[in-house]
């Protein structure tokens, strides 16, 4: 019997740290942290070619972050099974390329923001006839919208949503907003676990954040 994963793993090398913090390797590692899987299963669940999945698992394996746990027979030939070495990974700050914690956080979130813009990009980025409409929305809150030549709002593409805003909220409203967003995050993860292998499943980018603060107006 294969022993269970170790409770925690602390990165010892910069190579391990870079792979653990690399957004491209996150989905594969997440799949392996859920249990034993083959390269083909990783490819399917992360929506990447099998060859690319094999390359990523090879790098994770060489770095000592995952392990081969056994084989499964398929079509008369053995298929290797992989699993994460730990249930929790820790990356010491000293092994990162960041100078500050703020720089580290920016590096962790920037790939998701960039990917979100690239996903929306084909709809708007190449256009040169979009203006910005600054106005109060139905809730009497300032909003900025991309509009066409007629001044009408740009239609929200099906299956996409994005909103950034600033609000003045009391203590109870702040607590409730945080609770609802955590609840939505939990719901999204539950749906992903249930629907990851469905025929119409598609990779999506989800970002939820809420914190007291203010956008610098300088």
Instruction: Note the helical H segments in the chain.
Output: 14-21, 26-33, 39-46, 50-62, 101-124, 171-195
Comparison of pLDDT for 202 and 36, the residue scoring more: 36
Q: Domain ranges for the chain, please list them.
A: 9-94, 128-165, 168-218
Q: Which pLDDT value is given to residue 104?
A: 94
Which comes out higher in pLDDT, residue 142 or 122?
142
Q: How far apart are CA 139 and CA 156, in angstroms?
A: 18
The pair of structure tokens assigned to 159 is 């299956």
The CATH fold assigned to 9-94 is: Arc Repressor Mutant, subunit A (1.10.10)
pTM, rounded to two decimals: 0.74
Model confidence at 214, in pLDDT bands (50, 70, 90)?
Answer: confident
pLDDT at 80: 95
pLDDT tens digits along 137-183 = 787 777 777 776 555 554 555 566 666 777 889 999 999 999 999 99
Are the C-beta atoms of 127 and 146 separated by less than 8 Å?
Answer: no
Q: How confident is the prediction for the chain on average, in pLDDT? A: 85
């Amino acid at each position: 019997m294969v022993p269970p994963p170790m409770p925690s793993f602390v990165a010892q090398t910069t190579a391990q740290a870079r792979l653990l913090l690399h957004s491209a390797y996150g989905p594969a590692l997440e799949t392996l942290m859920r249990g034993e899987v083959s390269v083909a299963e990783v490819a399917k669940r992360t929506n990447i070619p099998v060859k690319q999945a094999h390359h990523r698992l090879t790098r994770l394996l060489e770095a000592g972050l995952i392990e081969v746990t056994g084989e499964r027979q398929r079509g008369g030939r053995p298929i290797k099974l992989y699993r994460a070495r730990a249930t929790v990974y820790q990356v010491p700050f000293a092994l990162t390329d960041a100078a500050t914690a703020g720089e580290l956080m920016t590096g962790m979130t920037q790939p998701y923001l960039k990917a979100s813009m690239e996903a929306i990009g084909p709809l708007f980025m190449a256009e040169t006839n979009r203006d910005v409409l600054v106005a109060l929305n139905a809730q009497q809150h300032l909003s900025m919208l991309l509009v066409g030549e007629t001044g009408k709002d740009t239609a929200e593409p099906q299956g996409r949503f994005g909103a950034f805003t600033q609000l003045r909220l009391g203590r109870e409203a702040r607590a409730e907003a945080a609770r609802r967003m955590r609840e939505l995050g939990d719901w999204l993860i539950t749906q992903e676990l249930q629907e990851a292998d469905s025929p119409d499943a598609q990779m999506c980018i989800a970002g939820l954040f809420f914190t007291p603060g203010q956008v610098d107006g300088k």
